[in-house]
Structure 1
Amino acid sequence: MSARDQLLEHRPSILVAALGTTFGVALLGLTHVVEQVVAASAVSSSVTVTGLLGAAASVFVGLALYVAAIVTSNTFATVVAGRTPTIALLRLLGSSARDQRRAVAREGLVVGLAGAVIGILAGVALVVVAVRVLVAQGHLPDLAYSYVSVVGLVPAVAVVLTTVAAAWVGSRRVLQVTPLQATDAAQDAPLPGRSRRVVRTVIATLLVVGGGLLLVAGVVVGLADPTGVLVAFAGGVLSFTGVVVGAHALMPAVLHAVGRAFGPSQVARLAAENAVRHPERSTRATIGVVIGVTLVTTLSVALETLRTFVHTLEQDPTYAAQLDQFFSTTLLVVAGLVGFSAVIAAVGMVNDMSLSVLQRRRELGLLRAVGSTAGQVRRMILLEATQMALTAIVVGVALGVVYGWAGAQALLGSVNDGALIAPTLPVPLLVGLALTAAVLAGVAALVPARRATSVTPVEALAAR
């Protein structure tokens, strides 16, 4: 495969790397600008202010890189699965599995560098435009701003490193490809061994149970001391890590339940079965979106619950209105920042769905050959994408509500005389997520559906 073909195959990964770099460079660049404004104002607490800004920016950049790494790893795993016959043929001709894996890792380096360069240019351009607009509107003083700092370029380096690492992790399936597979048309690499899946499940269970107990402990401690939120935070991190590790067992079960809601028609049944027939592939396509939706929902529920609680205590209408505006602005900003990770994950889902359809050309050709129409194939793919998008959002919202309420309860329980506080659900967010599911499903199915029906049944059946 030529370098040009490899870059074309990894276009979504380059986009993910570019988005992550753009977000990081722009956020740290704007933080650098604010630091300059604070320093010019001669505020005595400027060191504290800039320190807090840097810490907050680092957290959001870290979240974006975390999701980008998962998406990139999933993408490379899917690409490697589609190359099984080619890799097996190279193995048959004498190439070792480690040589093939190193080749995939080099592709990750090229992808990371390409995305980082694009992201640096786009991020710096966004900062320059934003500052010029804010200065023109009088929101910022007209200073001789420096738009780029050494720290501001850290996200670019981090993206390259995480992309290479994600490519290495995603390419581990190369080690499972045998030369014998060159003699058939296998499209998917072998699934992980049963012992490996059992170990992953056990580790995930321990993390979820242990994290859940810490989460409960944080809520209980929070009834008497607001520092319980720290215990709850640790429990949330551990339990959510367990969910991610054990996604191979969780997501197919939820996908099956959601798929049954689509009805008993033949197309609906095929879509539901396809979504769970390859659990690893379905998990790769959905787990990134689950992470993004969980983060957004957690912060939204926590802030909404906090706002509702403060309103019950505040008797001054004017001050209550100011607090309401503050919470609304904070919610929009934080949801926007964390929501960027959901955008990256959505790109990953679209890419995985597209690659999945490409690898199933023979299967789709067989459906056309036995009488399925092009319209039925398109509807089946759309239902598969809808099933995955709905499942990811349902799981993410459910986890986010639990984590958001637990955090707010652990923080406010002692102020509320040790009583439990009901969670406040942000209705606009839930409506927005429902619309997002519809749009994401449509986008994820659009290109794959066109590709699936653009070839004749004979051509598809002849594909290897």
Structure 2
Amino acid sequence: MIAVALAQIRIHWARFLAIGLGIALAAGFVATTLIINSSLQNSLEDAVGRSFSQADLTVIPDKDVFVGGDEVAPLLGPLAETEGVRSASLSARTLTAGRGSAFSESSFALSPVPADAGLDAFDIVSGERPQSTTDLVLDTRTAKSLGVGIGDEIRFTVDSVPVETGEEDMPVYRGPSHNSVTFTVVGLAQMGEDPALPGANRALTTASGYQEYFAQQGDVIAIQIALDEGADAERVRSKLQSVIGSSQLDGSLEALTVGDAVEVKTDRLSGGNAVITALLLVFAGISVVVAILVVSNTFSVIVAGRRRELALLRCLGASRGQMYGSVVAEGLVVGLLGSILGVLAGVGVSHALMLAAVRYWPEEFPYDTLTVPVSALITGVAVGALLTILATIRPARSAIAVTPLEALQPFDVSFAPSTRNRPRQLIGIGCLVVGAVLVIVSLYAVSAAQAWIIGGALGGGLIVTGLVISSVRIIPPLVGWIGEVLISPWGMPGQLATLNTLRNPRRTATTATALVIGVTLVATILVGGMSTKATLGHGLDQRYPVDISVPLSGLVADDSLEEVREIPGVAHAVSAHRAEAVEDYKDSRPEIYVIDPETASTVLGDSAADLVTGRVVVPEDYPDSTVRIRGLNEMNVPVHKEGLSSLAFFTTPEVGNSIGVSATSTAVLVRLDEDVDVDEISRIQQSVAEALDVPSGEVGGSAVARGAYSDFIDVMLAGAVALLLVSVLIALIGVSNTVSLSVIERRRENALMRALGLSIAQLRALLALEAVLISSVAALLGIVLGSALGIVGTRLLTYEYSTDLIVDFSVPSFLGILAVAILAGILSALAPARRAARLSPVEGLKLDY
């Protein structure tokens, strides 16, 4: 029977072509995901290894332990004095903001150079190593992107901290007026990428400069140890661990060999890669499920068309087991061939993605090591083969479901549900009912327990599962109704197209279901993501009705305030005084602004309550009748409960005078134009920081927060939709395959209609309308179901952040999805229509099918 299976594939290869393409896409997706994960992991390991390439031993912090550079400084001496150690150098990192004459404020990852030049993991290209406390060496890529050269100055923001100037000196407190230090660029070097902060601007300074200005903010990466020639590394490592054990950092640091340290660091940094791989595998799994539906439907049609041939083999002595094995063998061979081609294509796609990422997004994607593990190739082929075997089980069972005598009779394929399907239908309807009830209960109960978010997700999954199981009962009637309303008026081709989709309910349902799954997920992510973004923004405006706020430690100059007002996108900017809340409210310390009501009305959002003289405006659910605030004095002030502003409280100058608010505790409050785009917020934030001469990190407010998470959601949406398009493409291949096989099945019928007067144009229109009807109904159902699930997901995820649900429904996006479905339906019918048109009525009626 293997020979029979191979002969069938060879003779009817065109029927199996689309099956192989769907399998190739699914298997290639899986292989590409595993290849990308392996490449990211190896690239990360190479980057970590370069950081420790010159060391003999390393001392690194234990997992989840933060060790500051100032804490490690006292330990460097004892480690360096250990027998067998030539030198001990600190490897640390601080994220800080810097500003130069050639560029606006930018973030830097700043580190100290090793005390031992032999441990340098960078190459000086021009200039020299830093020597004095305020010398700076820039990475060549950073210098090029910022337009900075040797001799230029960069002013860095530093914390207000006490600085030990010497053992016998008193500490000097660096206050707000000394929170920036100017460094001079003395060299340029090739540093490579920081594996923990790919794309960050990198800079190096002396160990003393780092210790004085940045160690208090940063964290220790490692202590690199250089050994004396001939020293026993394991013996020295043991001694180093003893030194650590006798210090205050016992239990926080561990001495390791370089190889072990690289492995440990790589594992700690690879968490992000694991998340990416898990997400990709989820989308790959969705593609596999869709491919199973498409392959199963296509094989069912192929087997149904060969029922008489299979029955003849039964008459000639083939057993049920042999027939079953023959059909499964066909699927396995097609699956293996498709999987191999898909895996090979996955290797090529992975290589192309790596090259494109390195070329166009070098800062966001610095890894350039392509690794193709054998396990990824084997897994991709195995997934494709297993996918096909699972998809051919039902068609193989249908091949042996009738006796040879029954199958040799004139046969009109009928997929009408039988009594055997009643349990299946009951299960499907049960999933739909339970899922709907679970979603409704979750919407009401989520305010009491956050765990009901999982209940809502489970309910949505049950609804989709129920739709898949009960698709024969749901989709064909829907297709028939829409066909009667929209397709039948197109004359005889439209009426016949509607009837043809209803002749085979199971085939129509399975074909449409594959597309419904893909479109539902796309719609869920689009509506859910955009609605979540809009709802979070609305909730943030309610909780913090200030677009931009900048706390200051002095009076605001009129010129600076006027400069802020002239920034494009700024509607109003005013100065206010700040008081201090003594107690937390809802796990955070609210800002308290002292401002007169008339001025407040120009900068506060529409959701802000009106100010009341002599009172502090607090949210309506504030539990007490007074709030304790502090200026130069501390006192309880009566409250006015209105609105939802929980992150910022507002009061009038009368209260400020009562508590003696400090004249130097000020803030600038900014109201943006109503039509400011989210993409412009980052620019405005930088401009406000420059005008007020403060770090951009100190420029906050609801608009800044909204811009930050909006960008993140947009990136996630784009990535998710792009990945789901693979499953949609597989589903559309299924539509094309169904139409193609229906043409093969209905050759005599099409020939008879041609003989009765149906024109070639009408025949082509019939097939096109049939494909368009299935694909468009599936797309509509997916859009409706996905939109509903997206709205439910938004409510469940944002119930704590907003009292209102803001639904953001992108009409152009969904019209685009519907247009793609219609266009795909038309394109999928072109080749079958051409094949049907070439067959003359006389030749078609001669065929014995």
- State which drifts further: 365-374 or 408-417: 408-417
Q: Which residue of the partner structure matches residue 161 of structure 1? A: 386
Structure 1 pair 89–411 and aligned structure 2 pair: CA distance change class (3 A): same
For the pair 1:64 / 2:287, whether they are aligned, the reply is yes
Cα distance in 1 for partners of 2:778, 2:454 equals 27
Q: Spell out, residue by residue over 1:421-461, the C-alpha distance to the aligned partner (whole angstroms, 9 max, x if none).
A: 14321334202212212211111211111122211112222
Structure 1 pair 197–182 and aligned structure 2 pair: CA distance change class (3 A): closer
> Aligned partner of 1:305: which letter?
S
Q: Which residue of the partner structure matches residue 9 of structure 1? A: 15
Contact residue 82 and residue 187 of structure 1 kept, 8 A: no
Structure 1 pair 310–114 and aligned structure 2 pair: CA distance change class (3 A): same
For the pair 1:22 / 2:47, whether they are aligned, the reply is no
Following superposition, the deviation at residue 352 of structure 1 comes to 1.1
Alignment match of 1:453 (pick from 825, 829, 837): 837
Cα distance in 2 for partners of 1:372, 1:58 equals 49
Cα distance in 1 for partners of 2:391, 2:296 equals 4
> Aligned partner of 2:520: which letter?
T
Q: Which residue of the partner structure matches residue 188 of structure 2? A: none
Specify every segment of 5 or more residues in structure 2 that has no aligned partner in the other structure, as ranges.
49-194, 197-264, 542-546, 549-680, 683-703
> Aligned partner of 1:375: which letter?
A
Structure 1 pair 437–177 and aligned structure 2 pair: CA distance change class (3 A): same
Following superposition, the deviation at residue 104 of structure 1 comes to 0.7
| Structure index of larger Rg | 2
Q: Which residue of the partner structure matches residue 761 of structure 2? A: 375
- State which drifts further: 234-243 or 19-28: 19-28
Q: Which residue of the partner structure matches residue 242 of structure 1? A: 466
Q: Which residue of the partner structure matches residue 802 of structure 2? A: 416
Percent identity at matched positions? 29
Cα distance in 2 for partners of 1:289, 1:166 equals 16
For the pair 1:396 / 2:782, whether they are aligned, the reply is yes
TM-score of the superposed pair, with normalisation by structure 1: 0.93
Aligned length: 461
Contact residue 365 and residue 461 of structure 1 kept, 8 A: yes
Cα distance in 2 for partners of 1:141, 1:400 equals 36
Structure 1 pair 321–374 and aligned structure 2 pair: CA distance change class (3 A): same
Contact residue 393 and residue 437 of structure 1 kept, 8 A: yes
Alignment match of 2:274 (pick from 47, 51, 60): 51
Following superposition, the deviation at residue 308 of structure 1 comes to 0.8
> Aligned partner of 1:413: which letter?
Y
Following superposition, the deviation at residue 106 of structure 1 comes to 0.5
Q: Which residue of the partner structure matches residue 359 of structure 1? A: 745
Q: Which residue of the partner structure matches residue 36 of structure 1? A: 42
Structure 1 pair 191–303 and aligned structure 2 pair: CA distance change class (3 A): same
Q: Which residue of the partner structure matches residue 253 of structure 1? A: 477
Structure 2 matches for 1:214-293, cutoff 5 A? 214-260=438-484, 261-264=486-489, 265-293=491-519
Q: Which residue of the partner structure matches residue 205 of structure 1? A: 429
Cα distance in 2 for partners of 1:263, 1:141 equals 56
Alignment match of 1:306 (pick from 532, 535, 559): 532
Q: Which residue of the partner structure matches residue 387 of structure 1? A: 773
Q: Spell out, residue by residue over 1:33-54, the C-alpha distance to the aligned partner (whole angstroms, 9 max, x if none).
A: 2333444355464143233223
Residue 400 of structure 2 aligns to a residue in which SS? helix
Contact residue 290 and residue 395 of structure 1 kept, 8 A: yes
Contact residue 487 and residue 494 of structure 2 kept, 8 A: yes
Q: Which residue of the partner structure matches residue 180 of structure 1? A: 405
Structure 1 pair 302–162 and aligned structure 2 pair: CA distance change class (3 A): same
Residue 176 of structure 1 aligns to a residue in which SS? coil
Alignment match of 1:170 (pick from 395, 413, 432): 395
Contact residue 268 and residue 383 of structure 1 kept, 8 A: yes
Structure 1 pair 377–141 and aligned structure 2 pair: CA distance change class (3 A): closer
Cα distance in 1 for partners of 2:711, 2:369 equals 32
Alignment match of 1:332 (pick from 706, 710, 718): 718
Structure 1 pair 429–152 and aligned structure 2 pair: CA distance change class (3 A): farther
Q: Which residue of the partner structure matches residue 297 of structure 1? A: 523
Following superposition, the deviation at residue 142 of structure 1 comes to 6.1
Contact residue 84 and residue 177 of structure 1 kept, 8 A: no
Q: Spell out, residue by residue over 1:70-93, the C-alpha distance to the aligned partner (whole angstroms, 9 max, x if none).
A: 111111111101111211221222
> Aligned partner of 2:411: which letter?
A
> Aligned partner of 1:298: which letter?
T
Cα distance in 2 for partners of 1:122, 1:55 equals 21
Contact residue 518 and residue 724 of structure 2 kept, 8 A: yes
- State which drifts further: 306-315 or 36-45: 36-45
Following superposition, the deviation at residue 152 of structure 1 comes to 6.2
For the pair 1:432 / 2:656, whether they are aligned, the reply is no
Cα distance in 1 for partners of 2:11, 2:404 equals 23
Q: Spell out, residue by residue over 1:106-138, the C-alpha distance to the aligned partner (whole angstroms, 9 max, x if none).
A: 111111110111111111111122213333443
> Aligned partner of 1:61: which letter?
A
> Aligned partner of 1:14: which letter?
G
> Aligned partner of 1:191: which letter?
F
> Aligned partner of 2:839: which letter?
V
Following superposition, the deviation at residue 395 of structure 1 comes to 0.8
> Aligned partner of 2:332: which letter?
L
> Aligned partner of 1:306: which letter?
T
Contact residue 14 and residue 112 of structure 1 kept, 8 A: yes
Alignment match of 1:124 (pick from 347, 355, 365): 347
Cα distance in 2 for partners of 1:435, 1:243 equals 23
Following superposition, the deviation at residue 277 of structure 1 comes to 1.8
> Aligned partner of 1:103: which letter?
S
Residue 345 of structure 2 aligns to a residue in which SS? helix
Following superposition, the deviation at residue 328 of structure 1 comes to 2.0
Following superposition, the deviation at residue 335 of structure 1 comes to 0.5
Structure 1 pair 267–54 and aligned structure 2 pair: CA distance change class (3 A): closer
Structure 2 matches for 1:68-87, cutoff 5 A? 68-87=291-310
Cα distance in 1 for partners of 2:367, 2:526 equals 35
Structure 1 pair 102–344 and aligned structure 2 pair: CA distance change class (3 A): same
Following superposition, the deviation at residue 228 of structure 1 comes to 2.3
> Aligned partner of 2:779: which letter?
I
Contact residue 331 and residue 389 of structure 2 kept, 8 A: yes
Question: Would you tell me which structure has more helix in proportion to its own residues?
Answer: 1
For the pair 1:148 / 2:370, whether they are aligned, the reply is no
> Aligned partner of 1:94: which letter?
G
Following superposition, the deviation at residue 149 of structure 1 comes to 5.6
Contact residue 85 and residue 187 of structure 1 kept, 8 A: no
Q: Spell out, residue by residue over 1:344-399, the C-alpha distance to the aligned partner (whole angstroms, 9 max, x if none).
A: 11111110111012101111111112111111111111111111111100111111
Following superposition, the deviation at residue 245 of structure 1 comes to 0.4
Structure 1 pair 152–107 and aligned structure 2 pair: CA distance change class (3 A): closer
> Aligned partner of 1:338: which letter?
L
Following superposition, the deviation at residue 182 of structure 1 comes to 5.0
Structure 1 pair 361–446 and aligned structure 2 pair: CA distance change class (3 A): same
- State which drifts further: 70-79 or 215-224: 215-224
Q: Which residue of the partner structure matches residue 420 of structure 2? A: 196
Structure 1 pair 426–250 and aligned structure 2 pair: CA distance change class (3 A): same
> Aligned partner of 2:430: which letter?
L
Structure 1 pair 193–433 and aligned structure 2 pair: CA distance change class (3 A): closer
Residue 487 of structure 2 aligns to a residue in which SS? coil
TM-score of the superposed pair, with normalisation by structure 2: 0.52
Contact residue 69 and residue 166 of structure 1 kept, 8 A: yes
> Aligned partner of 1:34: which letter?
L
- State which drifts further: 286-295 or 165-174: 165-174
Contact residue 204 and residue 246 of structure 1 kept, 8 A: yes
Alignment match of 1:406 (pick from 783, 792, 807): 792
Contact residue 416 and residue 504 of structure 2 kept, 8 A: no
Q: Which residue of the partner structure matches residue 96 of structure 1? A: 319
The RMSD of aligned alpha carbons is 2.1
Cα distance in 1 for partners of 2:356, 2:498 equals 49
Q: Which residue of the partner structure matches residue 333 of structure 2? A: 110
Residue 838 of structure 2 aligns to a residue in which SS? coil
